[in-house]
Structure 1
Amino acid sequence: MEREWMTGGTAAVDGVMIDELGDVRRAPGTRVRAAVDGPVALAVVGDCPATAQEVRDALPAVRAGRWGELSRWAGSYWVVADDGRHRFVCGDLAGIRAVYYARGEERPQWATEPRLLGRPLVTDLPYLAARLAAGEHHWPHRSPYEEIRMVPGGFGLLLVPGAPPRLIDISGIEPVDDLREGADRFGRTLTEAVQHRVRAAGGVVGADLSGGLDSSAAVMLAAEAGDMHAVTYTDGYTSGEDMAFASRVAEHTGIAHTVNMGADEQLPFSFPAGQPTGVEPVLEAAMFAMDTSYLQPVRGLPLHLTGHGGDIVLDASGSCWVRLLQEGRRRDAHRQVVAFARLRNTAPGPYWKALKEGAVLGRVGSLERAAEALERGPSTPEAAVAGWSWCRLGAGASWLTGYGRHQVAALLRQAARDQQPELADEFDQWAALRAVGASARGWAPCGGILGIRPVYPYLDNRVVRAAFAVPALARRGLVAYKPLLRAALPELPDWLTSRRSKGSFTAQRIAGLARHRDQLDDLIASSPLADGGLIDPAAVSTSLAQAARGQSTTVIADLHQLIVTCWWLTRQTTKREVAAC
């Protein structure tokens, strides 16, 4: 969508006159379904299979202000509705279809990209430092820009003249009691999310095939509905087991399959010339050279299927055991934690201690404790404990200056006052969903440059709702990995769904850090975070040197986040300087 904002007026959208929604503009080629009945109007914009009649049938919900009903179709799309008095806008549950808003001088403004709000974009450096130190999930309503807010996934934006913008909960999760009750619905929903796109593509469809469960299951479902060309990336650092599974899936389905053998030039953190920036820093930015290489054979196809988001909907974290403790089910929690730790040859004691602390402190207490720790003085990276935490100060906190620590502490205290789920598993699953949604929307400019149109069936509204309806505890497999997938799609081969391992890019990232270490040191030292006095480049350089030698793998994820943030900020500064010339 090219632009959306509040100005009034009337215009044509795909040949349909939409009274009071004529101020909604879109990019050429954007798919729109629209319906109007007097002052009541509704437009559905994006990847949605709803028919024109189905959109017309939703007008009574607009008239009655039942806003949550407007996101019940399959797909990933924006909704814009007006009942003559209120304007309602929402994207998808994962936040791939983002909605930004700001307070204008006369009335609220909203847009699908920050630059379209018509105000200067000033990067919010303290917020970006806080994301590095404590994770991004504490501030779901913030954007990387000062004074510009984002509608969190699971919410819509209600605009009323003369009143502040209001967030409306549209999550609409209808819980079931156990895995068995929810599995059939999830299986049907995921199958349709994959196959309706393949059938509608009208030609060969591209697909990622990493060999993991998520992409493999999506490819198997898609192969039943049409022709496919799957692509796999491998190199000397990636999992040989993943490669073996990818080959077996391709052989099992009989699809075209291209394996790209990467070289050192494709290692992470090269940031080649011409790489697009996007509106926010995302981890995928470090992998652009790899993407450019392995996606070449499927460039220009109607769509590209991915397994992105499968980890979130098919699995759950240790937060489900904190939820048991919150409910007073200590014995159940301890039994499951011990069993989980033993299966992975991990000592259950530290794991159990971390979970108990999380249950006692809760979200607010954990944030306050993290803020106090930052205010007391320099931080050291916490030991890598397998237990889930509401707020863990990682290596990013140890790189903060005194000024940076106080800025981040203030933001953590502010987050403690915000309204968020206080049940651990609900908080965590929505935080994780929004994070993968952010990475998907952040990769969109890369897809545009590479001629790739990605789709994310695991992040469809209906798929997310069907998955989150199943208790997180039931999705957290002890013996089986991702038990929801196995229960929902029993037709998938046992050799696939019985897999319990998962590939890792850690070795590849270490090699990339080593190859580009000098350039990365310079990037970090000259970044706005360093210039603004928020991080200490010398402290980061020490961690970078250790990680590049493979001596400190626990800081790699934080280094990855810092590097892409510094690169993104530097590119933002460069673009402003060019624009000023």
Structure 2
Amino acid sequence: MEREWVTGGTAAVNGTGIEGLAGVCRSPAARVRAAGDGAAVVAVMGDCPAGEEELRAALPAVRAGRWAEPARWPGSYWVIAAGGRQQFVCGDLAGVRAVYYTPHGQGTAWASEPGLLGRPLVPDLLVSAARLAAGDQWPHRSPYERIRQVPGGFGLLLASRTPPQLVDVADIEPVEELRDGAERFGRALAGAVRHRVRAADEVVGADLSGGLDSSTAVMLAADAGVVHAVTYTDGYTSAEDMAFATRVAEHTGVRHTVATGGDEQLPFGFPTGQPTGAEPVLEAAMFAMDTAYLHPVRGLGLHLTGHGGDVVLDSSAACWVRLLQDGHHREAHRQVLAFARLRNTAPGPYWKAFKQAAALGRAGALERAAAALEHGPVHPEAAVGGWSWCRLGAGASWLTAEGRHQVAALLRQAAGDRQPQEADTFDQWAALRSVGASARGWAPYAEALGVRPVYPYLDNQVVRAAFAVPSLARRGLVSYKPLLRAALPGLPQWLTSRRSKGSFTAQRIAGLARHRHLLEELIASSPLTAGGLIDPAAVRAALAQAARGQNATVIADLHQLIVTCWWLTGQTAGREVTVC
């Protein structure tokens, strides 16, 4: 299934409709609707239910330069608008529909894929190493040198002889309590699923892991059309997950196919012929598993997933840092201690970490992390408990001395970047952009597997409705994902009362053990190693421990390092670039 893409640059309007956007071109697969009136043009490309009437109603906003208004429709799409000598482009809030840009002649070129920008793609090794060490503190940086990325929640405004500007299009309308926003969220999520299933007008595929997010999507889809759900299982899969998946399929009456994997489907195998993609993505390590369980739904009009549900339905412990930032010390202490006891964690050090995060703020935390990198090796066991603006874990411990100093310099630069100062706001947008990047990065794999994934939890209006609800209200101590139960009271109680969540940790440990020697060679020959940024001996020791099941805390960092090394190695071999 061909992917959609769009590309353009600084240009003036010279007509009406999509042809009025001079210099813009798109893939034949792109679904486009446009409207124009004189010097104002607006077009949407992608998955958006807005019709001609809605587009025409947005033209006055375009003429007035109110660029956020055309981004308020439901769906996941690009907006391209022009009024006078200005051109505006943005993707969705999560960044699944990304926008990249770079200087081009006297203006700026932009595109939905880096390879469409007409310049050589040179991976930015330092940014790759920095993200491994400190998370993504650079949402405006792409994986490539001299190519920028528009962060989710922003659009790009261009005009001749004027530097590009980022325009905030988040447009969150906060409510005070869970009950105030639950109904709106329920309507948005149900509508996001219903629109896609009905628009497909055929059997649709759907993931059904047994977790709350995919199970809810399947139940909503089953009310709107015919669904073929698929589930993956193997000797390491949670029996509880499988039981819930089976029960959901029986409850809804959907067709249900279960794929049973073996050693060949374990992670980190990287089968011959697996696509590389434009950026590293964790799912690259799972391609053999995806190939096995998605085969029965190959060629269907779309494939529903629960991806992103954790971000919109739940919130992180950053909500307790926000309580401290707002001066609610007693309530923050009560909730942190209650959560620590539920997790059987010593409450004292846990509480201290939250107080430190609130006192430092983002800039202070990044300066502190930079100093730690400069003063010596970072040990993974020293990673901050609770929540942190910047976690230095195992990835930081694998940096060379030169790598530590270079990453420290990048962190100091990032400390001055414009970012939300409220811990929960900063964290929820970072999490949203992360799952958006994961969905975006999986596009070439989906194309190779013959499925067209859709992500209703990442729909623009679903995200807005979720983020309107206070993060503290979405962080349930008594119930898991309380927003889901409040928003969709018709869901079965046996589903919404589930508190556990499945994991692929056992599969990843087995995959590390099976492919250990090949992975050691991959890391030793990686451009990160050749560039003097990571120490392969340090990684080798961590890999050996994880493969024996002795150090599960480093598995997430190993996973990220491995897919990054594999991706970078593929980039050095060259890849086909599509040009318009």
TM-score, structure 2 as length reference: 0.97
Q: Do 1:350 and 1:385's aligned partners in 2 also have CA atoms closer than 8 Å?
A: no
1:346 deviates by: 2.3
Q: Which runs of 5+ in 1 are unaligned?
A: none
Indicate the SS of the match to 2:161. Answer: coil
Preserved CA contact (<8 Å) 2:529 2:536: yes
Bigger mean CA deviation after superposition, 1-10 or 215-224: 1-10
The answer to whether the 8 Å contact 1:20/1:84 transfers is: no
Identify the residue that residue 102 of structure 1 maps to in structure 2. 102
Q: Tell me the amino acid that sits aligned with residue 118 of structure 1.
A: G
- For residue 474 of structure 1, report the CA deviation from its aligned partner: 0.2
- Matched with 1:352 is 351
2:174 is matched with 175
1:274 positional shift: 1.0
Aligned equivalents of 1:288, 1:44: Cα separation in 2: 32
What's the counterpart of residue 63 of structure 1? 63
Q: What SS does structure 1 have at the residue aligned with 2:380?
A: coil
**What do residues 520-541 of structure 1 show as CA deviations (whole Å, max 9, x unaligned)?**
0000000000000000001100
Which residue identity lines up with residue 6 of structure 1 in the other structure? G
Distance 2:573 2:6 in 1: 24
**In the alignment, residue 437 of structure 1 is paired with which amino acid?**
G
SS at match of 1:295: helix
Distance 2:467 2:191 in 1: 17
Q: Which amino acid aligns with 1:489?
A: L
> What is the distance in 2 between the residues matched to 1:422 and 1:242?
38
The answer on whether the counterparts of 2:183 and 2:487 sit within 8 Å (CA) in structure 1 is yes
Counterpart of 2:545, as a letter, is Q
Amino-acid identity (%): 74
* Paired letter, 1:395: A
Equivalent residue runs for 1:424-573 within 5 Å: 424-573=423-572
For residue 159 of structure 2, what is the aligned residue in structure 1? Answer: 160
Moved over 4 A (4+): 7-12, 383-386, 576-579
Deviations 1:84-127 (CA, angstroms, capped at 9, x unpaired): 12100000000000000012231111111111111111111011
> Does structure 1 retain, via aligned residues, the 8 Å contact 2:13–2:82?
no
Alpha-carbon distance in 1 for matches of 2:160, 2:59: 21
- Whether contact under 8 Å (1:11, 1:23) holds in the other structure is no
Confirm or deny: 8 A CA contact 1:208 1:215 kept in the other structure: yes
Corresponding residue number in structure 1 for 2:406: 407
Residue 93 of structure 2 corresponds to which residue in structure 1?
93
Q: Is residue 40 of structure 2 the alignment partner of residue 40 of structure 1?
A: yes
Match of 2:289 in 1: 290
Which blocks of at least 5 consecutive residues in structure 2 are unaligned?
Answer: none
SS in 1 for 2:146: coil
CA–CA distance in structure 2, aligned partners of residues 218 and 525 of structure 1:
42
RMSD, aligned α-carbons = 1.6
Q: Separation in 1 of the partners of 2:44 and 2:11?
A: 19
Residue in structure 2 matched with residue 6 of structure 1 by the alignment:
9
Residues 61-94 of structure 1: CA deviation (Å, up to 9, x unaligned): 1011111111111110000000012100000000
Amino acid at match of 1:77: Y
The change in CA–CA distance for 1:304 and 1:578 in structure 2 (over 3 A counts) is closer
1:39 Cα deviation after fit:
1.1
Matching of residue 333 in structure 1 with residue 336 in structure 2: no
- Cα distance in 2 for residues equivalent to 1:483 and 1:465: 17
> What amino acid maps onto 1:303 in structure 2?
L
Q: Shift in Å at residue 199 of structure 1?
A: 1.1
Contact preservation (8 Å) 2:13, 2:83: no
- Secondary structure of 1:575's counterpart equals coil
- CA distance, structure 2, for counterparts of residue 577 and residue 229 of structure 1: 34
Is the Cα contact below 8 Å between 2:12 and 2:84 reproduced in 1? Answer: no
Please state whether the residue corresponding to 1:153 is helix, strand or coil.
coil
Name the SS of the counterpart of 1:550 in structure 2.
coil
TM-aligned CA deviation for residue 397 of structure 1: 0.6
Mapping for residues 218-229 of structure 1, pairs under 5 Å: 218-229=217-228
Give the CA deviation at 1:509: 0.2
Retained in 1: the 8 A contact 2:35–2:43? Answer: yes
Counterpart amino acid of 1:54? Answer: E
Look up the SS of the partner of 2:442 in the other structure: helix
Quick check: 2:78–2:90 contact (8 Å CA) kept in 1? yes
Distance in structure 2 (CA, Å) of the matches to 1:213 and 1:383: 33
Instruction: Quote the residue 2:270 is aligned against.
Output: 271
For 2:230 and 2:13, locate their aligned partners in 1 and report how far apart those are by CA, in whole Å: 45
Contact 2:314–2:475, Cα closer than 8 Å, also in 1: yes
Separation in structure 2 between the aligned mates of residue 281 and residue 123 of structure 1, nearest angstrom? 11
Measure, in 2, the Cα distance between the counterparts of 1:363 and 1:17: 44
Instruction: Give the corresponding residue for 1:112.
Output: 112
